[in-house]
Chain A
């Protein structure tokens, strides 16, 4: 390690513009590492997950309504009631999923979530 340092120092002395280039390259590398490449993929994943929650819950609500209609013979009415209930459940699931994602991104608020 110390050899490496000495080498760097010597090179810097020998070629002053090299140290300059090195520090600029390091700054560029640091800037690249600050924003991970997977950030876009992650955002897409969150979007997919939230939209899926909404679609599935609405479908389940509609299916429940349809099934009860079929059993009770109550025409289309329970289907009509089931869809908004399903959509409400979907929004509730989305909010819950968002809470989970937020909780995972900010460590240290586990206790808060536990008692809520």
Chain B
């Protein structure tokens, strides 16, 4: 059972599948993603099975999540953000539940794979560009030129803004991936310390409760990180979409 702290991120094929010559096998990652979508949709539908005027416990939880995301969209994008609410709500719920599913013992953290987080980030990046050009046409390029730039600085600022724009999807994807991966490795390393210190015997074994206490604290911190990272991802999606929807100059 000991193994490397990186073993938890290994992919394994659960169902060999080939579509038009491409390897489309269902991996453990894909299985967990399907599970996360199922849990999210069934859970929310179950919570709203009987929409009462005075909400019960499950219904108020669903409504709190809805209002939380609705307010985030309203505050960051404004009225023009309404069409994007379903997308951002789905995104937030998927990442939140996927992060929390990773905290379940023997669970697999879908968001600890760069392939998954970058797929989201690149999709959002392309969505921002598509929305920007659809709403503002070629005027969207003025995003790269902040108003009030002195003429002699323009060539420099444009290059800097373009690099800044292209760094957005990378920071978005890497942040979620790095936070989830680092936290889970930390937990596994501390857990390994407990076993190996206890097995070492004598005085060292007596101290093996220290990494255990640390691991309890790290678990609490990881639950916080799971929620905060889902929030940050959704929030930055709103901020980036705001640039495309409400081009300010």
Interface residues of A (CB under 8 A from B): 38, 41, 45, 48-49, 52-53, 56-57, 59-61, 64, 85-86, 88-90, 92-93, 100, 110
User: A52-B175, A100-B239 are contacts. A92–B160 as well, Cβ < 8 Å?
Assistant: yes
Q: How far is the CA of A63 from the CA of B237 in the complex (A)?
A: 24
Interface residues of B (CB under 8 A from A): 75, 156, 159-161, 163-164, 166-167, 170-171, 174-175, 178-179, 221, 224-225, 228, 232, 239
Q: How far is the CA of A52 from the CA of B224 in the complex (A)?
A: 20
Residues of the A chain whose Cβ atoms lie less than 8 Å from the Cβ of B221: 41
Beyond A57-B164, A57-B167, A86-B163: 16 further Cβ-contacts under 8 Å?
Answer: A38-B224, A45-B228, A48-B175, A52-B178, A53-B167, A53-B171, A56-B167, A59-B170, A60-B163, A61-B163, A64-B163, A64-B166, A85-B156, A88-B156, A88-B160, A89-B161
Residues of the B chain whose Cβ atoms lie less than 8 Å from the Cβ of A100: 239
A93 touching B171 by the CB < 8 A rule?
yes
Q: How far is the CA of A32 from the CA of B213 in the complex (A)?
A: 21
Identity of the chain B residue whose Cβ is nearest the Cβ of A40 in the assembled complex: B221
Specify the main secondary structure of chain A where it touches its partner: helix
B160 touching A85 by the CB < 8 A rule?
yes
Residues of the A chain whose Cβ atoms lie less than 8 Å from the Cβ of B171: 52-53, 56-57, 93
A85 touching B179 by the CB < 8 A rule?
no
Identity of the chain A residue whose Cβ is nearest the Cβ of B170 in the assembled complex: A56
Q: How far is the CA of A59 from the CA of B178 in the complex (A)?
A: 16
A–B pairs, 6, beta carbons within 8 Å: A45-B228, A52-B175, A86-B167, A89-B163, A100-B239, A110-B75
Residues of the B chain whose Cβ atoms lie less than 8 Å from the Cβ of A92: 160-161, 164
Residues of the B chain whose Cβ atoms lie less than 8 Å from the Cβ of A53: 167, 171
A49 touching B167 by the CB < 8 A rule?
no
Q: How far is the CA of A86 from the CA of B165 in the complex (A)?
A: 11
**Least distance between A44 CB and chain B CB atoms (Å):** 9
**Least distance between B125 CB and chain A CB atoms (Å):** 12
Across the interface, B164 reaches (CB within 8 A) one of A48, A52, A93, namely: A93
B167 touching A89 by the CB < 8 A rule?
yes
Identity of the chain A residue whose Cβ is nearest the Cβ of B228 in the assembled complex: A45
**Least distance between B129 CB and chain A CB atoms (Å):** 16
Identity of the chain A residue whose Cβ is nearest the Cβ of B159 in the assembled complex: A85
